[in-house]
Structure 1
């Protein structure tokens, strides 16, 4: 087994720069609009590839120009696209508002992503040959469960970034090796499963569901929780954030790349935090994802 396969969404992001995120019923003027590659699946695949992992992407795009942009972008990062299917629906699109502090709000139209169903025998073969399967929740949940079962059956490590958060069926939880969530997602998952949602000790409580939990903490870094081991907390790097779009996805892809490479999980966590810290310093999702050399440099700086 080798490399990473990402089963997930591929979008085109339409990013509006605003002074502040509008409140309900409020209109604000944008002072800039950009179009870039995005979608949690595509982001994580690019992050894994740029972090040094051999990566294949399983997803769906439309026949439109946005679909062509996705194919070209993935190929540019040497990501395998043999299993990228074409849908009659338009390529997924995200409308993103980013304020002056780098915070954002996102609305996603799934489009072709909703047609990523009924994995083929070729899809199964790619998943089975990988060292790790990375998924999110911007595609049909049944497909996520199906892919996870295929991976579990052959010993491929299953990593789920449970975002956007949804109620996770037991059939999916039973397949997971690693669950990655932010604090909000962790609290929602705890409530859904009858666990106390308070933030203190939340990562440890989620170990009742899966053997390893990572909670991303935004500007505070990330914490790692494993059954039978002490909590590991890696603080965030001090940076000037301009756009948090895709930072969590950068973290997920970099962590998966580190684990597949053979890093200890603690070291993969530090590697991922370093990658995410670089991504918030630039605008856009895919455009802000760093290359391996930059991640290593940032990680070494934090160790000094």
Structure 2
């Protein structure tokens, strides 16, 4: 019997259950109680990226450890319903985040189970590409395209030390938000931050929230921008995860850099119109329709000749 074909993408970051308090008029201050209109439970963290990429047609695995508890059962069932393969291991408890969106911003409180993805779990499906934070880049399977991300805590630590793991130099792209880029680089604005970081890695992509995104290639000589998509934001939780999912989808399907940015910005923008990222993660048909209204053409994977094409 022949081996199964490699999957397109494996996500190795932690996953959570998100408990989202919908309809708050403001985030509660210390000692204050406010009432939500609803409470919604959904997959969070790397599960958002995995589900978002699967809805765009990629074959996806999630390697995050999940609890042997009701919350873990919930996430595993959600992954199965979306066609996402779970290659992680069972641990005692599932990580959980309480999300309080209000006024286009949000506050969060998180319990993290502290369990880490293993290299064997990440490589189980022989993925073509992986999404990993810079702290976990050493886990990447040989030959897989690596899309590196940075969390806020890591950005503060690496920015203070001026150091990034050496594996960043071989990543396909480093994807960060504006705050993370500024922390990592010490620069005063996003483009200067991207140019500084582009001396460390082949491509830096900086998300700018409602202002869109920009990318700077190795050496900082070329910058590409994608304008934001005007929407009324209800819940911005997970928008960066869905930006990443759409960017990887577009890249693996051969889209040039300007189109990768535009597709990713659009996918993220569509998601914030409703509560929870998974509820807002557009399937391919909806994203394609929204893209065509903006002059975008779906990438054609038959046009791919190499993952080493010019940026």
- What range describes the TM-score normalised by the shorter chain of this pair? 0.7 to 0.9
Aligned to 2:147: 159
Separation in structure 1 between the aligned mates of residue 167 and residue 111 of structure 2, nearest angstrom? 24
TM-score by length of 1: 0.86
Shift in Å at residue 118 of structure 1?
Answer: 4.1
Aligned to 2:255: 263
Please state if 1:19 is matched with 2:44.
no
Aligned to 1:87: 91
Aligned to 2:130: 133
TM-score by length of 2: 0.84
Q: Within 5 Å, give how 1:16-165 maps onto structure 2.
A: 16-17=21-22, 18-23=24-29, 25-81=30-86, 83-88=87-92, 90-99=93-102, 101-111=103-113, 114-120=114-120, 123-126=122-125, 129-136=126-133, 141=135, 144-148=136-140, 151=141, 154-165=142-153
Shift in Å at residue 52 of structure 1?
Answer: 1.4
Shift in Å at residue 165 of structure 1?
Answer: 4.0
Deviations 1:125-183 (A, max 9, x none): 43xx222111247xxx4xx13313xx3xx321110121234035423423422111111
Q: Residues 200, 136 of structure 1: CA spacing in aligned structure 2 closer, same or farther, 3 A cutoff?
A: closer
Deviations 1:53-106 (A, max 9, x none): 11111011111111001101011110111x121002x1110011111x331112
Aligned residues: CA RMSD: 2.0
> Per the alignment, in what secondary structure is the counterpart of residue 110 of structure 2?
strand
Please state if 1:252 is matched with 2:251.
no
Q: Residues 63, 235 of structure 1: CA spacing in aligned structure 2 closer, same or farther, 3 A cutoff?
A: same
State whether residues 60 and 85 of structure 1, in contact with CA within 8 Å, keep that contact through their aligned partners in structure 2: yes
Shift in Å at residue 201 of structure 1?
Answer: 2.1
Separation in structure 1 between the aligned mates of residue 243 and residue 127 of structure 2, nearest angstrom? 20
Separation in structure 2 between the aligned mates of residue 8 and residue 33 of structure 1, nearest angstrom? 28
Report how many aligned residue pairs link the two structures. Answer: 282
Question: Equivalent of 1:202, from 193, 196, 207?
Answer: 193
Shift in Å at residue 37 of structure 1?
Answer: 2.2
Deviations 1:204-235 (A, max 9, x none): 12102211011101010111111255211111
Shift in Å at residue 251 of structure 1?
Answer: 0.5
Separation in structure 2 between the aligned mates of residue 11 and residue 51 of structure 1, nearest angstrom? 21
Structure 1: segments with no counterpart, 5+ residues: none
Separation in structure 1 between the aligned mates of residue 200 and residue 33 of structure 2, nearest angstrom? 42
